[in-house]
């Protein structure tokens, strides 16, 4: 039997470590600690090419000190603006990341916010980034939506060029100081197994928002109101009768308009003397006189704000329940469509 030449044995033996190394996954390379930002949505995986364990959105900030074959290991992230360490192995494709300066009080981060609607307060330039290059100009009172914010800058996600929302693509930013948030205020959460309803007591001109659970009853809001005149006008003034009639009603719909709710003189009131001058001048509708918030409860009744605050505590309306605009705002936040409204003497 012929023996293998010694030099072949030595060469083959020298190749074994290299072959063994090739068979094993490449080791992670240590990198300087970095803060990185996702430029596009990405799946977070247990290992490079491993199982997906989460989906992170564009703008997410994270830290890393290792990488392997185009993948970056996550050492921590900033879910609420404060750094938190990653509790287990997490990897993200390096191609979707860009390095940013370490987070510090002097540097704002891009953070996702609840979708809100804003309106420009005056003419403003849109830029391609916070403090970036101007790319367009918007007039005052232009409405737009926002889902991302960086410090004092808002990123535009959409606008309403023809009264209908349209998505805005690309980077469009403007200063928050040049816009007003006109979104409706958040609803107050309703506890499980609880009911909320409104009680209007005509005897003391009071509206109360009541919450009842299994073991308790609590008055959440109590406000003074104005009510229907509970009377009929003379025949020469139309002869209409106006009441805030006792009974049980339901919230049919909630109304919020950032510019205020308009009111128009209905045909049934056209003969009343107090409207004669306005109608003679061609004025039938009045902008924003009912405040920004209202609850329609049926039978032509609504709970709404009023500019005539002197009528609160009196019977002067045509049947609606009036209150100060800021008081109606509180009630609006607690109530939902379908909630009961009880009017009693």
Interval 169-216: pLDDT, tens: 889 999 999 999 999 999 999 999 999 999 999 999 999 999 999 889
**pLDDT at residue 107, as a whole number:** 60
Verify that 200 and 275 share a domain, yes or no. Answer: yes
Q: Among residues 56, 81, 100, which one ends one of the domains?
A: 100
In a domain, 280, yes or no: yes
Q: Among residues 100, 128, 143, which one ends one of the domains?
A: 100
In a domain, 186, yes or no: no
**pLDDT at residue 161, as a whole number:** 93
Lookup: tokens for 175? 């200063």
Contacts of 86 (CB under 8 A, 6+ apart): 74, 75, 76, 77
CB atoms within 10 A of CB 325: 20
Verify that 202 and 276 share a domain, yes or no. Answer: yes
Verify that 214 and 238 share a domain, yes or no. Answer: yes
In a domain, 94, yes or no: yes
**pLDDT at residue 11, as a whole number:** 47
Give 32: exposed, middle or buried? Use CB within 10 Å, 0-12, 13-18, 19+. exposed
pLDDT surpasses 70 at 81: no
Give the structural domain span for 93.
Answer: 28-100
Provide mean pLDDT across the span 126-135: 91
CA–CA separation, 46 and 154 (whole Å)? 34
- The count of structural domains within the chain is 3
CA–CA separation, 313 and 293 (whole Å)? 20
Place of tokens 């009744």: 301
**pLDDT at residue 23, as a whole number:** 47
Phi, psi dihedral angles at 163 (to 5 degrees): 85, -5
CA–CA separation, 60 and 37 (whole Å)? 6
Tell me what percent of the residues of the chain surpass a pLDDT of 70. 87
Verify that 141 and 270 share a domain, yes or no. Answer: no
pTM higher than 0.75: no
Provide mean pLDDT across the span 263-282: 73
Domain at 241, CATH number: 2.40.440.10
Verify that 52 and 162 share a domain, yes or no. Answer: no
Among residues 85, 146, 68, the alpha carbon closest in space to that of 110 is found at 146
Verify that 84 and 167 share a domain, yes or no. Answer: no
Domain at 148, CATH number: 2.30.30.40
Interval 275-303: pLDDT, tens: 677 777 777 787 888 999 999 999 889 99
Asked if 194 and 334 touch (Cβ cutoff 8 Å), the reply is no
Among residues 188, 206, 185, the alpha carbon closest in space to that of 196 is found at 188
The residue that leads in pLDDT, 228 or 14, is: 228
Contacts of 88 (CB under 8 A, 6+ apart): 46
pLDDT surpasses 80 at 28: yes
Q: Among residues 135, 152, 181, which one ends one of the domains?
A: 181
**pLDDT at residue 289, as a whole number:** 85
Verify that 236 and 334 share a domain, yes or no. Answer: yes
Verify that 75 and 122 share a domain, yes or no. Answer: no
Provide mean pLDDT across the span 305-329: 94
The residue that leads in pLDDT, 132 or 269, is: 132
Asked if 340 and 248 touch (Cβ cutoff 8 Å), the reply is yes
In a domain, 120, yes or no: yes
In a domain, 13, yes or no: no
Give the range among 13-27, 48-62, 246-260, 308-322 with minimum mean pLDDT: 13-27
Tell me what percent of the residues of the chain surpass a pLDDT of 90. 59
In a domain, 7, yes or no: no
**pLDDT at residue 5, as a whole number:** 57
In a domain, 15, yes or no: no
Verify that 314 and 332 share a domain, yes or no. Answer: yes
**pLDDT at residue 59, as a whole number:** 83
CA–CA separation, 68 and 103 (whole Å)? 24
In whole numbers, what is the pLDDT of the chain averaged over residues? 87
Verify that 203 and 337 share a domain, yes or no. Answer: yes
**pLDDT at residue 270, as a whole number:** 67
DSSP code of residue 226: B
CA–CA separation, 282 and 285 (whole Å)? 9
Bridge-based pairing of strands 97-100 and 29-38 is antiparallel
Verify that 225 and 163 share a domain, yes or no. Answer: no
Verify that 89 and 115 share a domain, yes or no. Answer: no
pLDDT surpasses 70 at 105: no
Interval 44-56: pLDDT, tens: 999 998 999 999 9
CA 331 to chain centre: 19
In a domain, 238, yes or no: yes
């Amino acid at each position: 039997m012929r023996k293998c030449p010694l030099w072949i044995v030595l060469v083959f033996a020298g190749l074994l470590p290299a072959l063994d190394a090739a068979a094993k996954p490449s080791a992670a390379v240590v990198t300087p600690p970095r803060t990185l930002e996702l430029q596009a949505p990405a799946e977070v995986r247990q290992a490079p090419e491993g199982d997906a364990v989460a989906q992170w959105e564009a703008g997410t900030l994270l830290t890393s000190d290792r990488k392997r074959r185009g993948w970056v290991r996550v050492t921590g992230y900033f879910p609420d603006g404060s750094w938190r360490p990653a509790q287990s192995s997490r990897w993200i494709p390096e191609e979707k990341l860009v390095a940013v300066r370490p987070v510090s009080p002097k540097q704002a981060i891009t953070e996702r916010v609840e979708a809100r609607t804003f309106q420009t307060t005056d003419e403003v330039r849109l830029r391609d980034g916070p403090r970036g290059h101007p790319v367009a100009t918007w007039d005052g009172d232009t409405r737009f939506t926002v889902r991302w914010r960086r410090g004092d800058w808002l990123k535009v996600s959409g606008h309403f060029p023809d009264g209908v929302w349209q998505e805005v693509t690309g980077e469009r930013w403007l200063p928050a100081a040049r816009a007003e948030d006109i979104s409706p205020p958040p609803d107050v959460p309703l506890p499980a197994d609880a009911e909320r309803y409104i009680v209007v007591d005509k005897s003391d001109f009071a509206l109360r928002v009541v919450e009842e659970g299994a073991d308790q009853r609590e008055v959440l809001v109590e406000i003074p109101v104005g009510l229907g005149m509970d009377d009929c006008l003379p025949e020469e003034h139309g002869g209409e009768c106006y009441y805030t009639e006792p009974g049980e009603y339901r919230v049919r719909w909630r109304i919020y308009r950032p510019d205020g709710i308009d009111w128009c003189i209905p045909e049934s009131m056209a003969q009343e003397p107090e409207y004669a001058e306005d109608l003679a001048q061609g004025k039938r509708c009045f902008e924003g006189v009912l405040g920004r918030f209202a609850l329609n409860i049926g039978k032509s009744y609504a709970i709404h704000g009023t500019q005539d605050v002197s009528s609160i505590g009196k019977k002067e309306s045509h049947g609606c329940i009036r209150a100060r605009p800021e008081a109606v705002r509180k009630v609006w936040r607690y109530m939902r469509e379908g909630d009961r409204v009880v009017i009693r003497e």
